[in-house]
Amino acid sequence: MSTIHSSFCFLKEWNRLMEMFTSDEQEQITHAISRAESLTSGEIRVVIEYKVGEGKGVMEKASYYFQKLEMHNTIQRNGVLIYIAFHDQVFCVLGDVGIHKMVGDDFWEEVRNTMLSSFRKGQVLDGLKMGVKRVGEILKGYFPKGDDDINELPNDIYFGDKNEGN
């Protein structure tokens, strides 16, 4: 298993339990990912599910998806995963070793706080898009898009496994 680094990932409260995103909101998220990745060789994935699952922590579950979605297989090890479990009101931002060694813990804390500020206002979509945008900005600085760059991972939202205790 690859080494994965993250900010502190616990979200204490949302004003209310948010419903899953509408198709228009999903399109906005996918567009934000595509826009962020258009200037970088880095890869961003978003995973959304209802619950983390019995006896599992948010870091454990986010790490599971990081591996499942093969985010550790990017050429420059510059994949970033944003994981949200609505019912449990938690989220996590994970960056692979290539990006983490460039930005350190303070960056992940900044992204977390940016997202958390919107989440606390009930603006989950805006918070998620702002997090994706900020991750894209930092990836661009360290991993600019090259002429030979390929999109290594899909830009769509991954909705949690139906059989993983969600």
Give the integer Cα–Cα distance in Å for 95 and 42.
10
If one counts every other C-beta atom within 10 angstroms of the C-beta of residue 142, the result is 16
Mean pLDDT of the chain: 83
Round to the nearest angstrom and report the end-to-end CA distance of the chain: 23
3-state DSSP assignment of residue 93: strand
Q: Is residue 67 part of a domain?
A: yes
Residue 78 domain flag: yes
Largest CA distance in the chain: 45
Q: Which amino acid is at 13?
A: E
Q: Where are the alpha helices (DSSP H) in the chain?
A: 23-37, 58-68, 97-120, 124-142
- 165 found inside a domain: no
**Full domain range(s) for residue 93:** 4-12+22-146
pLDDT at site 7 = 41
Residue 142 lies in a domain: yes
The pTM (predicted TM-score) of the whole model is 0.85
Judged against a pLDDT cut of 60, whether residue 100 lies above it is answered with yes
How many domains are there within the chain? 1
Q: What is the CATH number of the domain that holds 47?
A: 3.10.310.50
Three-state secondary-structure class, residue 91: strand
Across residues 11-34, what is the average pLDDT?
71
57 inside domain:
yes
SS3 12: coil
Question: Is 153 part of any domain?
Answer: no
pLDDT of residue 19: 52
What is the tens place of the pLDDT at every residue in 122-155? 888 999 999 999 999 999 999 998 888 888 888 8
Q: What is the pLDDT of residues 44-74, one digit of tens each?
A: 999 998 888 888 899 999 999 999 999 998 8
Task: Give the per-residue SS3 of 17-44.
Answer: CCCCCCHHHHHHHHHHHHHHHCCECCEE
% of the chain exceeding 90 in pLDDT: 48
pLDDT at 108 over 50: yes
Q: In Å, how far are 20, 151, 165 from 34, measured between CA atoms?
A: 21, 10, 30
Residue at 155 is within a domain: no
Q: Is residue 93 part of a domain?
A: yes
